Amino acid sequence: MIYNFSAGPCTLPKQATEEAAAAIANFAGTGIGILEMSHRTKPIEGMVAETESLLRELLSIPAGYEVLFLGGGASLQFCMAPMNLLAQNATADYTDTGVWANKAIKEARKFGKVNVVCSSKESVYNHIPKNFEQTPGATYLHITSNNTIYGTQWKEFPKANTYLVSDMSSDILARPIDVSKFGLIYAGAQKNMGPAGVAVAIVRSDILGKAEREIPAMLDYRTHIPEKSMFNTPPVFSIYVMNRVLHWLKNLGGVSAIEKINIKKANQLYNALDNSKLFKGTAAKEDRSTMNVPFVFREEAVAADKKEALEKTFLKVATEKGLEQLKGHRSVGGFRASIYNAMPVEGVEKLVEFMSEFEKSL
Amino acid sequence: MIYNFSAGPCTLPKQATEEAAAAIANFAGTGIGILEMSHRTKPIEGMVAETESLLRELLSIPAGYEVLFLGGGASLQFCMAPMNLLAQNATADYTDTGVWANKAIKEARKFGKVNVVCSSKESVYNHIPKNFEQTPGATYLHITSNNTIYGTQWKEFPKANTYLVSDMSSDILARPIDVSKFGLIYAGAQKNMGPAGVAVAIVRSDILGKAEREIPAMLDYRTHIPEKSMFNTPPVFSIYVMNRVLHWLKNLGGVSAIEKINIKKANQLYNALDNSKLFKGTAAKEDRSTMNVPFVFREEAVAADKKEALEKTFLKVATEKGLEQLKGHRSVGGFRASIYNAMPVEGVEKLVEFMSEFEKSL
């Protein structure tokens, strides 16, 4: 049994991937495989519509919001968001909580004024900044709801003067959210929703059409809304895997149910770190992510010149035991366990057990 | 046995789809499924690099060209091409050969001057215009190499004053091409290469960086070149299916071999149409596509008030016989058989046989 702690693309519900694989041979009893079926057929149109319905239900998306399935990943949304929302002379507020937040900032600067209202860069993004001032009249306030690399997460969303725009790639569907606080939520699928290749945009339609610029058709949310994400050929298979993941989540009890499991998994791992003499977490306790848990050797436990070799040993033995993809991001070092929705409780238990064994073996 | 004549997404080599489905359970012996494996792992990086090599080999792509795998489909390339290549005050020449050519034209107008140098619109795009003048000093000449809806195909590419830019979505890999005539070739995968969700861009690197505008990172070819299509998470699974399709094509003898088969299939179908008293092709003979074959009832054979009912009957009986997705595009009417690379010769034989039976039964 392998437990895959990759930060993304990452572990998915086994049932969902099995259903997706089966549909490649024969989709919905049509005799035609899902990779080979035109998006302009009733079975595919129905599947995409159902995927939207499931997302609406699971996230309690209110009326007035559109749900789009788009190619290009969240990285394309970094430019689509300001291109569609931010006028050239207007200001958008951005919070700087890590590498991905910075990529969003960089793209927004190409379309309007950007005010970086807070940053935790000086402490290697180990916390979520609190108490910052918003720009009067700013069009929106942008946040990265969960910071995959640093393992920090906005536990309470800041109250935007107007509306929030959020990259939710790494914790969408992990907990209930109040969508009405957001003008735009976007997320690459490849953490909690499905495989790489599709991004979701949930946009309040009344904020569109105010940026006063010509937008290429494919980059204009207004193109995709009346076409139900079928303006061009959408990434059908990625949407289908998402469909199967959403069914799995719904059967499991939805977002409230998975939140309880996520908290349980995260607590188990953080407790182990807090009680360890060898390991420690790197993120500020109050901002700890339930999705990504970076950890390192305690400085007092491992001499600086022994650290690299011991990290390698830990990763090697972990891999031998089926605990894979635990290497930390280079900017934080050490280790990172990504424990998204689809990571079973047993995976975290096995990891905690192994960490304890490893500590005792030294 | 079902033969799927869909215009795209469309039939794929059975072997390729079976291999892709198997990789969902376990990719390359890693024990981890391909949907769940990080793009920053050696197996995935190796697979993407191999896919590029296969494309380079199959299309004989010369040095000086970059090969990129991008999300968003060819529709995103409609804006990326002029955004990257066409300066605001410069002119690009576009040939108007159908709906998709028009979409490319519409996007290009957002970035520079566009001169539509020829059009076959007045004859419902039933032929490829010949003998047109290019704009002196135009940056490039854009063509749609094959027109899916109308079943026309550039048999000889026009000689551009500078370089050609081509949407090759519906006939890439169907025949050998001289890549050196092109500055940029782009193509959605979902005809001859794989499933929806990835587009290929083959770009001569020395034409980049001359458009003199700020380009969002994700839309700038120069972003993706040094990152080997891994600037962000690429559509991994779609690339993998392409990888399997390219292996299939290589084993079959490559593009020259498939061209012979494509010509054989197309000739068989066009000969049947030319010899039929009931059916006829709609495209000019000299421009007939080897990929998409639109056909209608001959006016002298079917009374106008009987046409619609008889079309329905033809499609219904065809479907019962496993000949699926033969309905024509609404702008041409009638029927369309898409006979891409992966359509077996037997599929065309069955169709021709059925058309003959149907004709005799009236």
Point out which residues pair with B115 in neighbouring strands.
B93
Q: What is the pLDDT of residue A137?
A: 97
Q: What is the pLDDT of residue A37?
A: 97
Stretch B131-155: mean pLDDT, rounded?
98
Q: What is the pLDDT of residue B162?
A: 97
Residue B154 annotated as catalytic = no
Per the CB < 8 Å rule, is A237 touching B196?
yes
In this structure, are A49 and A104 located in the same domain? yes
CA distance B144 to B159: 14
Domain of B352: which CATH number? 3.90.1150.10
Q: What is the pLDDT of residue B56?
A: 98
Chain A residue whose CA is closest to B219: A76
Q: Which residues of A204-238 are buried (b: 16+ CB within 10 A; e: fewer)?
A: beebbeebeeebbbbbbbebbbeebbbbbbbbbbb
In this structure, are A50 and A89 located in the same domain? yes
The answer to whether A104 touches A142, Cβ cutoff 8 Å, is yes
Q: What is the pLDDT of residue B155?
A: 97
In this structure, are B96 and B210 located in the same domain? yes
Question: Taking Cα atoms as reference points, which of B212, B202, B196 lies closest to residue B178?
Answer: B202
pLDDT tens digits, one per residue of B209-219: 999 999 999 99
Per the CB < 8 Å rule, is B24 touching A25?
no
* Helix A254-274, helix A236-252: angle, nearest 10: 80
Going by the DSSP 8-state scheme, the letter that residue A197 receives in this structure is T
Q: Which segments of chain A have a pLDDT < 70?
A: none
Question: Taking Cα atoms as reference points, which of A181, A214, A239 lies closest to residue A87?
Answer: A214
Point out which residues pair with B4 in neighbouring strands.
B324
**DSSP string for A162-195:** S-EEEE-TTTTTSS---GGGEEEEEEESTTTT-S
Distance from CA of B9 to the nearest CA of A (A): 5
Q: What is the pLDDT of residue A131?
A: 92
In this structure, are A230 and A259 located in the same domain? no
pLDDT tens digits, one per residue of B44-98: 999 999 999 999 999 999 999 999 999 999 999 999 999 999 999 999 999 999 9
In this structure, are B241 and B261 located in the same domain? no
Q: What is the pLDDT of residue B41?
A: 96
Q: What is the pLDDT of residue B239?
A: 98
State the DSSP H helix or E strand holding residue A323, giving kind and residue range, or none if neither. strand A323-324
H helix intervals, chain B: 14-25, 42-58, 73-85, 99-108, 221-224, 236-251, 254-275, 304-320, 345-361
Chain A residue whose CA is closest to B2: A31
Q: What is the pLDDT of residue B70?
A: 98
Q: What is the pLDDT of residue B344?
A: 98
Give the C-alpha distances (Å, rounded to integers) separating A200 from A12, A66, A248, A253, A303.
Answer: 17, 10, 18, 22, 45
The answer to whether B331 touches B341, Cβ cutoff 8 Å, is no
Q: What is the pLDDT of residue A10?
A: 98
Domain total in chain A:
2
Domain boundary among B231, B251, B271: B251
Residues in chain B within 8 Å Cβ distance of A75: 217-218, 231-232
Q: Phi, psi at residue B323, to the nearest 5°? A: -100, 100
- Centre a 10 Å sphere on the Cβ of residue A111 and count the other Cβ atoms it contains: 23
In this structure, are B247 and B258 located in the same domain? no
Domain of B212: which CATH number? 3.40.640.10
Per the CB < 8 Å rule, is A78 touching B2?
no
In this structure, are B217 and B355 located in the same domain? no
Domain boundary among A252, A284, A305: A252
Q: What percentage of chain B exceeds 70 in pLDDT? A: 100
Residues in chain A within 8 Å Cβ distance of B4: 32, 36-37
Q: Check residue A261 and give left, alpha or beta (phi > 0: left; psi -120 to 50: alpha).
A: alpha
- Centre a 10 Å sphere on the Cβ of residue A271 and count the other Cβ atoms it contains: 11
Active-site hit among B93, B96, B154, B167: B167
Residues in chain B within 8 Å Cβ distance of A188: 233
CA distance B135 to B137: 6
| Pairing label, strands B91-96, A335-338 | unpaired
pLDDT tens digits, one per residue of B224-251: 999 999 999 999 999 999 999 999 999 9
Active-site hit among B93, B96, B100, B327: B100
Chain A residue whose CA is closest to B81: A216
In this structure, are B194 and B301 located in the same domain? no
Strand ranges for A59-104 from DSSP E: 65-70, 91-96
- Centre a 10 Å sphere on the Cβ of residue B42 and count the other Cβ atoms it contains: 9
In this structure, are B19 and B124 located in the same domain? yes
Q: What is the pLDDT of residue B76?
A: 98
Residues in chain A within 8 Å Cβ distance of B24: 17-18, 20-21, 24
Residue B248 annotated as catalytic = no
In this structure, are B211 and B356 located in the same domain? no
Q: Phi, psi at residue A320, to the nearest 5°? A: -60, -30
**DSSP string for A212-262:** -S---GGG-HHHHTTTTT-SS---HHHHHHHHHHHHHHHHHTHHHHHHHHH
A44: helix, strand or coil? helix
Closest to B196 (Cβ–Cβ): which among A83, A107, A236?
A236
pLDDT tens digits, one per residue of B93-141: 999 999 999 999 999 999 999 999 999 999 999 999 999 999 999 999 9
Give the C-alpha distances (Å, rounded to integers) separating B174 from B249, B283, B344.
Answer: 10, 19, 14
In this structure, are B91 and B49 located in the same domain? yes
Going by the DSSP 8-state scheme, the letter that residue B189 receives in this structure is S
Query: What is the span of the domain harbouring residue B39?
Result: 15-251
Residue B360 annotated as catalytic = no
Closest to B33 (Cβ–Cβ): which among A17, A75, A219?
A17
CA distance A292 to B15: 38
Distance from CA of A87 to the nearest CA of B (A): 16
CA distance A26 to B345: 22
Q: What is the pLDDT of residue B261?
A: 98
Active-site hit among A93, A96, A171, A191: A191
In this structure, are B135 and B57 located in the same domain? yes
Q: What is the pLDDT of residue A305?
A: 97
Domain boundary among A199, A221, A252: A252
| Pairing label, strands A182-188, A164-167 | parallel
Amino acid identity, position A317 = V
The answer to whether B175 touches B290, Cβ cutoff 8 Å, is yes
Residues in chain A within 8 Å Cβ distance of B12: 33, 35-36
Amino acid identity, position A273 = L
Per the structure block, which two tokens stand in for A265?
């998994």
Query: pTM for the whole thing?
Result: 0.98
The answer to whether A20 touches A241, Cβ cutoff 8 Å, is yes
Q: Phi, psi at residue B184, to the nearest 5°? A: -150, 130
